[in-house]
Structure 1
Amino acid sequence: MPKIDDVAKKAGVSVTTVSRILNNRGYISNTTREKVYQVMEELNYQPNELARSLFRKKSNLIGLIIPEIAHPFFSELTQHIEYYAFQNDYKLLLCNSQNDRTKEKQYIDMLKKNQVDGIIMGSMLLETDDYLQLKLPLLSFDRSIAEHVPLVTSDNKAGGGMVAKLLLDKGCRKLAFIYGGIKGYNGDLLNNKSIFSGLRYEGFSAECKERNIEIMNFYLEINDYTDIDNGVELLMDFLQENKDVDGIFATSDVISAYVIQACLKMNRKIPDDIKIIGYDDVALASLIMPRLTSVKQPIEEMAKLSVEIIIQQINGEEVKKDYMLGVSLVERGTT
């Protein structure tokens, strides 16, 4: 495998000159630059990225930690973050914590050892100090780390209010709030201020309270997204015990898909007998039948903004601390 010395020798320049060309530092004539590039191509020379990052004190790597890559929301989010990072000459190191504290800690240590320039946090199971001790540019996504760490989220409270309003305007009078799918949070999810999806319940319940409508809460823990039958059976048990439920707000499109399957197995007609609204509006919402009414989060816009903010921090620029984007309600066949 050719080394930088081989390139310098064949090109008739110093190793320092080759290094400057690779790292775009200092003045180098176009003639010399083109000659070195030609030799690198002839020798099939591949620069050592780690050595280059040490020289530049910059790796052009961004770490992304998410709780569950199998979840369609995080899959779509990751796709968009990777795209916009690449457009800005950054590569992405993806870490799938699977809501495991030990795994998340090991990933954080790995990102630090690989000298990433910054980290986007979508999964936060550790103590605040574990993140702040990194001394790296940080951005949190839909979960708050600390007041001084920038946060990107959408208006979850408004989204919850939209759902309640539509269900009640459609004539529903016995509503159920079905949430969960996040291991380790269970019932505390509704009151956990660091997890902003809990605000969906706040907006939903406030609208129902204003109209004197009671809400039933049901927590559905999904440990494995391939174990569909178990989740469907749990929902069938809940609906069997609460036959008068005629409107459901599920806090993700994935949970909504489980609810739809449970209703179909029980011959509950959608939307005649029961109306269902999901959250996120991922591609799944338009693929299942009936097509799902859902609150649309601007996933691509949130991803693009996250990349922009973390790069601004990496470059030493001042950034705001809170970024909240609006949501909208997309009505389809389940309402």
Structure 2
Amino acid sequence: MATIKDVARLAEVSTATVSRVLNGNGYVHQGTKERVAKAITQLNYRPNDVARSLFKGRSKMIALFVPDIMNPFFPELARAVEDMAKKRDYTFVLCNTDDDPAKEVNYVQELKQKSLDGIVIVSSTISGDFIKDVDIPVVALDRILHPSLSSVTVNNRQGAREATTYLQELGCKRIAHVAGPNNVSNAEQRLNGYLDVVQEEDWFRYSFIEQGGYHFDEAKKATERLLTKHPEIDGLFVANDLMGVGALKAAQSLGIAVPDQLSIIAFDGITLGETTTPTLTTMAQPIYKAGARAAEILIEQIEQQNDQRQVEEFTVEIVERESTRRRDA
């Protein structure tokens, strides 16, 4: 069985550094964190494995890992997972990972010491090979992490096609896209759905695509770049609602009227989109249903000791609000 000294030796750091990474105490350079996380994965290091083995039976505790609790999409998911956990008499633990692979590994190791029964995980950064080998049930939510893992997602590519086609049907002639991160499966699917519709158009340029990183500030800046570089843009498909709000603010800062000069449609259907001025047209996910179903699949795998892969995909639907022109306009 690997020890903390083995991890330190492989990562070429001190045992104190490994301890700081595991406990999240003190500053550790990002590159060092990644080396330590890789060594932990390679050695399958499990702190306090002996103490953990003293636990008998299940803890009736599940965890939800999310990358950014400040994004309103994730509290809505968390409510669904928590409600299902409570319904099935499980304790619920919410872990905000900041898309930090070392922090994700640390959460896994610490919670396994407490005899955690299973994990629902939303992640852009965790190693698929690492998470598939965790010896408790894991269900991926919102995005695909590894082909062998159960997952609950939505029809991202088709939804993106429908969003972009909707803008065309409104009369938009130059449609741009504010994309999510390159390394996230659902962002890639939404980008591809947009491209399915526009890439054969005579007007299309790849400079009509900017990355917004699934963040408000990044999306605001990305939209400002797009609209400044290409003032002819009259339609904008944004890969999530939080970025859609950033796009609305960008248009406002440039004096561009929404929807009269620019129609904006986003993706997710979070309640934040109902509070903006104008309110945000969106491709709405069944967020609560998806979160509850992921938790239900996880608990079924725990209780039935069944690791058979299940893949479920929900359908999104358009919610028309004020950020797009009316169909009959």
Please state which band the TM-score falls in when normalised by the shorter chain.
Answer: 0.7 to 0.9
- Assess if the C-alpha contact under 8 Å between 2:179 and 2:187 holds in 1: no
* Cross-structure match for 1:5: none
Which of the residues 268, 274, 277 maps onto 2:265?
A: 277
Output the CA distance in 2 between the equivalents of 1:127 and 1:66.
15
Per mean C-alpha deviation after superposition, the further-off stretch among 96-105 and 313-322 is 313-322
Is 1:178 the equivalent of 2:178?
Answer: yes
1:238-259, Cα deviation, whole Å (9 max, x unpaired):
3112111110011111111011
1:92-111, Cα deviation, whole Å (9 max, x unpaired):
11111111122111111112
After the TM superposition, which residues 54-133 of structure 1 pair with which residues of structure 2 at under 5 Å, given as runs?
Answer: 54-55=55-56, 57-133=57-133
* Cross-structure match for 1:134: 134
- Assess if the C-alpha contact under 8 Å between 2:137 and 2:307 holds in 1: no
1:58-100, Cα deviation, whole Å (9 max, x unpaired):
1010011111111111111011111111111011111111111
User: Would the alpha carbon gap of residues 309 and 73 (structure 1) be closer, same or farther in structure 2, given more than 3 Å must change?
Assistant: same
Output the CA distance in 2 between the equivalents of 1:282 and 1:289.
15
TM-score, with length taken from structure 1:
0.75
- Assess if the C-alpha contact under 8 Å between 1:153 and 1:324 holds in 2: yes
Number of residues of Structure 1 aligned to a counterpart in Structure 2: 270
> Which residue identity lines up with residue 332 of structure 1 in the other structure?
R
Which of the residues 227, 250, 261 maps onto 2:238?
A: 250
Output the CA distance in 2 between the equivalents of 1:129 and 1:232.
35
- Assess if the C-alpha contact under 8 Å between 2:149 and 2:309 holds in 1: no
Is 1:217 the equivalent of 2:209?
Answer: yes
> Which residue identity lines up with residue 327 of structure 1 in the other structure?
V
After the TM superposition, which residues 231-310 of structure 1 pair with which residues of structure 2 at under 5 Å, given as runs?
Answer: 232-310=220-298
Per mean C-alpha deviation after superposition, the further-off stretch among 142-151 and 94-103 is 142-151
Which of the residues 312, 315, 322 maps onto 1:326?
A: 315
Give me the identity figure in percent. 26
Output the CA distance in 2 between the equivalents of 1:65 and 1:81.
11
1:245-290, Cα deviation, whole Å (9 max, x unpaired):
1100111111110111111122211111000001101001111010
- Assess if the C-alpha contact under 8 Å between 1:143 and 1:196 holds in 2: yes
- Assess if the C-alpha contact under 8 Å between 2:178 and 2:223 holds in 1: no
User: Would the alpha carbon gap of residues 284 and 326 (structure 1) be closer, same or farther in structure 2, given more than 3 Å must change?
Assistant: same
SS in 1 for 2:261: coil
* Cross-structure match for 1:201: 191
What value does the CA root-mean-square deviation take over the aligned residues? Answer: 2.2
TM-score, with length taken from structure 2:
0.76
Output the CA distance in 1 between the equivalents of 2:285 and 2:247.
20
> Which residue identity lines up with residue 54 of structure 1 in the other structure?
F
1:277-329, Cα deviation, whole Å (9 max, x unpaired):
01101001111010110000000110111111001100124655210011101
Output the CA distance in 2 between the equivalents of 1:248 and 1:113.
47
SS in 2 for 1:76: helix
SS in 1 for 2:209: strand
- Assess if the C-alpha contact under 8 Å between 1:232 and 1:258 holds in 2: yes
Output the CA distance in 2 between the equivalents of 1:221 and 1:325.
24
Output the CA distance in 2 between the equivalents of 1:166 and 1:120.
33
Output the CA distance in 1 between the equivalents of 2:172 and 2:231.
13
- Assess if the C-alpha contact under 8 Å between 1:250 and 1:276 holds in 2: yes
